[in-house]
Amino acid sequence: MRDVPVYEIDPTAFWRDPYPDLKRLRAEAPVAFVPQLGAVLLTRRDDIFENEKRVEVFSSDQPQGLMTVLMGQNLMRKDGAAHQAERKAIFPTVSPRTVRDVWKASFETATKEVLDRVAPSGRSDMVRDLAMPISAEALKAMTGLTNMAWQEMDRVSQGMIDGCANYAGDPAVTARCNDCTASIDAHIDARMPELKAEPDHSLLSVQMQAELPEDTIRANVKLAISGGQNEPRDAIAGTAWALLTHPEQLAMVLAGKATWLQAFEEYARWIAPIGMSPRRIAVEHEIRGSVLEPEDRAFLMFGSANRDEAVFDRPEVFDITRDTSAAISFGAGPHFCAGAWASRCLIAEVALPAMFDRLRGLRLDGETSFGGWAFRGPLKMPVAWG
């Protein structure tokens, strides 16, 4: 790289609250190299929106990237025809019609079971006891790994996420990630004969029906787990927290003056559960006077883009009446999140309305803490009801 400003961060403080640094980067150095992350950060919305589509420059093909090394080369780490072929193969699992006709009923059943189990206690941790099992049960159904306990689904998801964000190279984190991917492979091994005999709409099954290579099938199931557990989990709990800390906006939703979907979409803008997506620079490229060179690493900072003052009025404010159409919470290019329809259904159509209906008088019952910048969400959220 040449002529790229350097911006230093405190990694611990950045993990705890990245927004002050991101705001300063947008204002002073929208394209900057951060030594502690070993990457060039793009922090303005329009830069990311335009350049994410330039796959010939900002390539998802990252042979030495942590995700590829630890999980195999999934469709998120491919561009062009190879990427599109795999998206087409998995579409029967994630299409709006399948979500409506197949998965929504499954989501409703699992959410009711979780609420039946937790409701009598009168208090719990929203992340651990409600959002986590609701998200995991949905993911078990969609991936086809119905033989996996929901607790294990959450464990392996978090282990892979930690591994893919392990830019410091902690060997213990890598070892945990490898243990998690081995667990997924064992569960896939057990399910493959069953799904060959009785195919269904699950991700594992539709890839088998499309006769994708087995290493590709496994990599894409791991991809779905790495993103399909923590992001809905964090968005369910986080949106509930946002509404509980903004009671006037919760009242609007409960009165039918705003929708659960508006609340979720605004939360996803405000506290982006997917805060970053990495890219490999494939060819020399100039942006804002900085020259990126082949093999440089770039981070597209979605969590910053969604708070860009040039695009959003009062971006640091949670406002469910806001027009969020310019937000890029699910991405902006060919790698737009394939699970977006399922996420909207699970969170806005099922989980949030069911929780607020069943847990009457739902309220915060202690301090809520947040963490993360590549993936961000509540870590603990004590709640009570009744």
Torsion angle of the four alpha carbons 278, 325, 316, 312, in this order, in degrees rounded to the nearest 10? 100
pLDDT band at 64 (very low <50, low <70, confident <90, very high): confident
List, for residues 352-371, the tens digit of each pLDDT value: 999 999 999 999 999 999 99
Percent of the chain predicted with pLDDT > 90: 87
Segment 281-310 shows an average pLDDT of 97
Whole-number pLDDT of residue 224: 94
DSSP secondary structure string for all residues of 30-82: SEEEETTTTEEEE-SHHHHHHHTT-TTTEE---TTSHHHHHH---GGG--HHH
- How many folded domains does the chain comprise? 1
Q: Which of 166-170, 247-251, 285-289 has the lowest mean pLDDT?
A: 166-170
Whole-number pLDDT of residue 266: 98
Whole-number pLDDT of residue 327: 97
Indicate the SS3 state at residue 300.
strand
Whole-number pLDDT of residue 72: 85
Residue 37 sits in a domain whose CATH number is 1.10.630.10
* Amino acid of residue 122: G
Residue 52: pLDDT over 80: yes
Whole-number pLDDT of residue 298: 97
Rounded to the nearest integer, the mean pLDDT of the chain is 95
Residue 66: pLDDT over 90: no
Is 74 a member of any domain? Answer: yes
The answer to whether 45 touches 23, Cβ cutoff 8 Å, is no
Whole-number pLDDT of residue 68: 83
Rounded to a whole number of angstroms, the distance between the first and last alpha carbons of the chain is 58
**Closest by CA position to 233, among listed 120, 335, 327, 139:** 139
Q: Which of 23-37, 319-333, 354-368 has the lowest mean pLDDT?
A: 319-333
Whole-number pLDDT of residue 71: 84
Segment 72-76 shows an average pLDDT of 85
Is 5 a member of any domain? Answer: no
Q: Which of 19-28, 214-223, 283-292, 329-338 has the lowest mean pLDDT?
A: 329-338
DSSP secondary structure string for all residues of 201-231: SSHHHHHHHTT--HHHHHHHHHHHHHHHTHH
List, for residues 102-127, the tens digit of each pLDDT value: 999 999 999 999 999 999 999 999 99
Whole-number pLDDT of residue 280: 95
**Residue 321 lies in domain:** 11-384
Is 2 a member of any domain? Answer: no
Residue 173: pLDDT over 80: yes
pLDDT band at 228 (very low <50, low <70, confident <90, very high): confident
Place of tokens 């919760």: 250
Neighbouring-strand partners of residue 371:
377
Is 247 a member of any domain? Answer: yes
Residue 141: pLDDT over 80: yes
Is 23 a member of any domain? Answer: yes
Indicate the SS3 state at residue 171.
helix
* Amino acid of residue 164: C
Whole-number pLDDT of residue 79: 87
Query: Is 300 or 167 the better-scoring residue by pLDDT?
Result: 300
Residue 335: pLDDT over 90: no
Neighbouring-strand partners of residue 59:
280
Whole-number pLDDT of residue 73: 87
Going from the C-alpha of 247 to that of each of 167, 240, 250, 251, the distances in angstroms are 39, 11, 5, 6
Neighbouring-strand partners of residue 286:
291
Is 4 a member of any domain? Answer: no
Give this prediction's pTM: 0.93
Whole-number pLDDT of residue 293: 97
